[in-house]
Amino acid sequence: MRIDVLTLFPDMFEGVFGASILGKARDKGLVRLSAVNFREYSTNKHGQVDDTPYGGGGGMVLKPEPIFAAVEDLLRRKEAETPQTEAAAEDDTVPTPAPPRIVLLCPQGETFTQRKAEEFAREEHLIFICGHYEGYDERIRTGLVTDEISIGDYVLTGGELPAMVMIDSTVRLLPGVLGNENSAVTDSFSTGLLEYPHYTRPTEFRGMQVPDILLSGHHANIEAWRRRESLRRTLQRRPELLDRLELNKQESKWLDELRREEEDRL
């Protein structure tokens, strides 16, 4: 996978791209990460990338020219770096590279979810556009981007932090990135439920015990306990997630029992 970020503050990404899971994924060659300062594509001698909005109003609006030029340059460079033989060019059976997903970080966008991360992880190339100031010229939305995404119902200074969140969430899903491939599969939201409780050594700590079922060695019973506890945690903390979940007969029975337990507890 290739991920490019268009930003006015590329230095913000140096530590993030080089550390932890992202750094390991890059070192393994599983992802190529870059942060590009789109001010370099300004047509103004002062490097200006924003201007006052037509019609008046407060704040400054990002101009379309630098962002369009930056994306187009990225695509040209990618094409130049991709070797292609004459035989492959003439062979209709050879798939052409998929166009990139161009993601605009915007508070008006679709809320980012685990499902969207899984969707992004299937792409070959992602480009994130990090805004600043009051907003974007509308022609960036209508003439360039494929997705407008938000990480929540609040406003940040810029799109850099949301881009980092989405990139981390996406890259960890790529094959070979995590040491244990099952880790991403059982994460909260990947199954539609919040994740079950985890325990490790010691079995007793300050009077708090590890549940006996986890010490039993009976894998089927452990998996059943984990699924039931995921249902319990989701019911207690994010009950709206259950409305979108298809449950089997056993899970529906557990959920009914858990709801009764919650009613008694309250």
Catalytic residue of the set 134, 148, 168, 251: 134
Using alpha carbons, list the distances in angstroms from residue 55 to 52, 58, 107, 114: 9, 10, 22, 39
Q: Would you say the CATH fold of 204-265 matches that of 2-171?
A: no
Q: Please identify which residue in the block is written with the tokens 């979940």.
A: 245
How far apart CA 110 and CA 116 sit, in angstroms, is 10
Per-residue pLDDT at 189 exceeds 80: no
pLDDT of residue 97: 76
Query: What rounded mean pLDDT belongs to the chain?
Result: 92
Q: What is this structure's pTM?
A: 0.86
Binding site residue list for S-adenosyl-L-methionine:
131, 151-156
107 is catalytic: yes
Is there a contact between 156 and 149 (Cβ–Cβ < 8 Å)? Answer: no
77 is catalytic: no
Binding site residue list:
131, 151-156
- List pLDDT tens digits, range 60-111: 999 999 999 999 999 999 999 887 655 555 666 656 778 999 999 999 999 9
How far apart CA 136 and CA 134 sit, in angstroms, is 7
pLDDT, mean of residues 182-196: 74
Fold entry, domain 204-265? Trp Operon Repressor; Chain A (1.10.1270)
* pLDDT above 70 coverage of the chain, percent: 92
DSSP H or E run through 3: strand 2-7
- List pLDDT tens digits, range 21-45: 999 999 999 999 999 999 999 988 9
Q: What type of residue sits at position 189?
A: F
261 is catalytic: no
- List pLDDT tens digits, range 116-136: 999 999 999 999 999 987 789
- List pLDDT tens digits, range 198-230: 999 999 999 999 999 999 999 999 999 999 999
Catalytic residue of the set 65, 73, 119, 187: 187
* pLDDT above 90 coverage of the chain, percent: 82
206: left (phi over 0), alpha (psi -120 to 50) or beta: left
* Architecture label for domain 2-171: 3-Layer(aba) Sandwich (3.40)
Per-residue pLDDT at 138 exceeds 90: yes
Domain ranges of the chain: 2-171, 204-265
Catalytic residue of the set 107, 123, 148, 259: 107
pLDDT of residue 34: 98
172 is catalytic: yes
Catalytic residue of the set 172, 227, 228, 232: 172
pLDDT of residue 234: 95
